[in-house]
Structure 1
Amino acid sequence: MTYSFSPLIKKGDSPIVLAQPHGGTDVPLSIWDRFNSVGQALADTDWHINRLYDGLLENASVIQTPVHRYVVDANRDPADVSLYPGQNTTTLCPLTDFDGRPIYRDGQEPSEDEIEERRAKCHAPYHEAIAEELERVRQKFGVAVLYDCHSIRSNIPFLFEGELPVFNIGTNVGQTCAPMIEQITVDACRADTSVETVVNARFKGGWTTRHYGTPETGIHAIQMETAQRAYMFEQSPWAYAPEHANKTRATLKSILSQLEAQALAGALSSASPDR
């Protein structure tokens, strides 16, 4: 295959790095033509995720992949090992959508060789960019905080029961960041008493958070999974809802501003998670 996807990188002057693995909608034609109508709907996109976070922390670095998660999921283990054993989930190169429906026409699913090619061409460059940016930031500030930006539809019975809370924070049960980072995030979310916040529930932090979150080395990571009803309409054409979004953005801005302030003040330099 001749396609390639370079990650989109905005280098900032802050200890905060925003990762956005699921906002891309690019699909090579050679793959698009093999999707069925379910796959071509691209319904499981983190719609408007860049817009939701745009401008909340002007100096933050931002790393995005333009490729759609149906091509290759940049937040999955490259070895395709499930982080949620026994639970429904999707794979490195998904064969179904979040409702468990096939996304390929019969007989058009990728081979093992193709999966490896997609990993090498799309997944690996994205993570090389993240690793390089985290190291650059750590060298400059002595600490780096990777904030993994996600969103998802509020109701997906295949993945979880009932309606998802608005704010779903993941730190792999406190292992990927200093306790202060988790607490700042939780407190900012729970300041809005009109919505529900949970920590390390259905979403404990995906591969990105777990892979990079090594507080003992000065790199902290936390995942925020936001229910899409908090900022958009959850049906096609997936329109942005400014009134809802502005309220949610205020919470997210509070989180990022506080994390940056603590990192710049040196409060995270010697912090490590409870073991």
Structure 2
Amino acid sequence: MSEHDSDNDLFEVREPEIQRIPFVFNSPHSGRRYSRAFLEQSRLDALSIRRSEDHYVDELFGCVTDLGAPLLMAHFPRAFLDVNREPYELDPRMFDGQLPPYANIGSIRVAGGLGTVPRLVAENMDIYKGRLPVEQALDRVETIYKPYHACLRKLIARTHVEFGLSVLVDCHSMPGNIRVAGSGQRPDFIIGDRYGTSLSPDLSQAAVSLLEELGFSVARNKPYAGGFITEHYGRPARGLHALQIEINRSLYVDETTLEKKPQFSLFATTLRSFLSAFSLYVEKYADSTALAAE
């Protein structure tokens, strides 16, 4: 038997009545359903274990179905399983038993305690009271990670077939104290495009410019260039674009209590304005690209 709750509670796709724009939105880190079994394994209290969440990002981007795009959202928490990693970035020190030989045990993320099954939440707090059976890690990969990515691939492929291109937007939040090295900038948003490899430069610059026009401070790729999802699914030469959006969570949430700020709804409305403008830009980009190919 799996250690997690019913598979139906793991993640969901919210679909528009009709998909009208060539976008897929993904919120892999906003899950906040903590199973009793997981909490019993943890040394952290119910608030501390939530420090790795992208708080309410699924709600902030909930408007995308009205705009005509699907939203894939995790319900399992990032502290339990991080689908923005390779499937087997696993730390052997965490487990009783032998990891498979294909596990990536030497990645920087594993060394930092932030592998596929994380050892730490933010602020370097250990999650677990002791070692886990290795079978638990492998079960999470088989029963959650792989179905999640299969679902994401299907959404991207469907969009690409229907529109001739697809734009995956990987939706995240970041701590309010993040600074851009060398400048001291405290950005409201960071647009990550894997240094130009996962997204057309035109689309990347458009995202930055549109956010700046709304009065936000925006950085690009620093300190977050995009994780496994952005890197893995972004193939702009094939019309498969992927960008990561990091939102400074101090704009909309109290980072101590994790409660929404009074301006949450206003911020969500402003974000919707950006997403609407960006989708219009992408439609024009798609039309111009199609004409150039004729």
1:139 and 2:189 matched: no
Name the aligned partner's letter for residue 243 of structure 1: Q
Select between 30-39 and 217-226 the one with higher mean Cα deviation: 30-39
Aligned to 1:7, which of 11, 33, 40? 11
Secondary structure in structure 2 of the residue aligned to 1:260: helix
Give the Cα separation in 2 of the matches to 1:120 and 1:201: 33
Matched ranges for 1:217-232 at <5 A: 217-232=238-253
RCO higher in structure (CA 8 A, sep ≥6): 1
SS where residue 43 of structure 1 aligns?
helix
Q: How does 1:123-138 map to 2 (within 5 A)?
A: 123-138=145-160
Deviation at 1:28, TM superposition (A): 2.8
1:245 to 1:184, Cα distance in 2 relative to 1, 3 A: farther
What residue number does 2:226 align with? Answer: 205
**Larger deviation: 238-247 or 9-18?**
238-247
Q: Which residue identity lines up with residue 33 of structure 1 in the other structure?
A: E
Is the 8 Å Cα contact of residues 145 and 220 (structure 1) preserved in structure 2?
A: yes
Distance 1:167 1:97, change over 3 A: same
AA at the equivalent of 1:201? K
The one-letter amino acid of 1:165's match is P
Once residues 87 and 166 of structure 1 are traced to their aligned partners in structure 2, the CA distance between those partners, rounded to angstroms, is 28
Alpha-carbon distance in structure 2 between the residues aligned to 1:57 and 1:254: 14
AA in 1 matched with 2:283:
L
Q: Secondary structure at the match of 2:232?
A: helix
Distance 2:167 2:108 in 1: 24
**Aligned partner (choices 162, 180, 186) of residue 208 of structure 2:** 186
Q: 1:114 maps to what in 2?
A: 136
**2:43 aligned with 1:22:** no
**Counterpart in the other structure of 1:74:** 83
Distance 1:223 1:104 in 2: 29
Percentage of identical aligned residues: 23
Determine the C-alpha separation between the residues in 1 that align with 2:252 and 2:65.
Answer: 18
Shift of 1:166: 1.4
Q: How many corresponding residue pairs?
A: 264
The structure whose Rg is larger is 2
Change (3 A) 1:183 1:84: farther
> 1 CA distance for matches of 2:288 and 2:23?
12
TM-score if structure 1 supplies the norm length? Answer: 0.85
SS of 2:190 mapped into structure 1: strand
Show CA shifts across 1:51-92 (max 9, x none).
212225611110011100111011112131587679946111
Select the residue among 58, 63, 84 that pairs with 1:55.
63
Once residues 18 and 129 of structure 1 are traced to their aligned partners in structure 2, the CA distance between those partners, rounded to angstroms, is 12
C-alpha contact 1:90 1:98 (8 A) present in aligned 2: no
TM-score calculated relative to the size of structure 2: 0.80
Provide the C-alpha distance between the structure 1 equivalents of 2:72 and 2:83, rounded to a whole number of angstroms.
Answer: 12
Query: Which is worse superposed, 207-216 or 260-269?
Result: 260-269
Conservation of the 8 A alpha-carbon contact between 1:230 and 1:245:
no
Distance in 1, Cα, partners of 2:266 & 2:107: 32
Task: Give, in whole Å, the separation in 2 of the partners of 1:151 and 1:178.
Answer: 23
Question: SS state of the match for residue 55, structure 2?
Answer: coil
Mapping for residues 123-272 of structure 1, pairs under 5 Å = 123-155=145-177, 164-193=186-215, 195-236=216-257, 238-243=258-263, 246-247=266-267, 249-250=269-270, 252-265=271-284, 266-267=286-287, 269=289
Q: Which amino acid aligns with 2:33?
A: D
Q: Is the 8 A contact 2:210 2:277 kept in 1?
A: no
CA RMSD of aligned residues (A): 2.8
C-alpha distance after superposition, 1:138-164 (max 9, x if no partner)? 11111111011101221379xx99785
SS of equivalent residue, structure 1 residue 17: strand
Q: Which runs of 5+ in 1 are unaligned?
A: none
SS in 1 for 2:126: coil
Specify the alignment match of 1:65 in structure 2: 74
- Give the equivalent residue in structure 2 for 1:36: 43
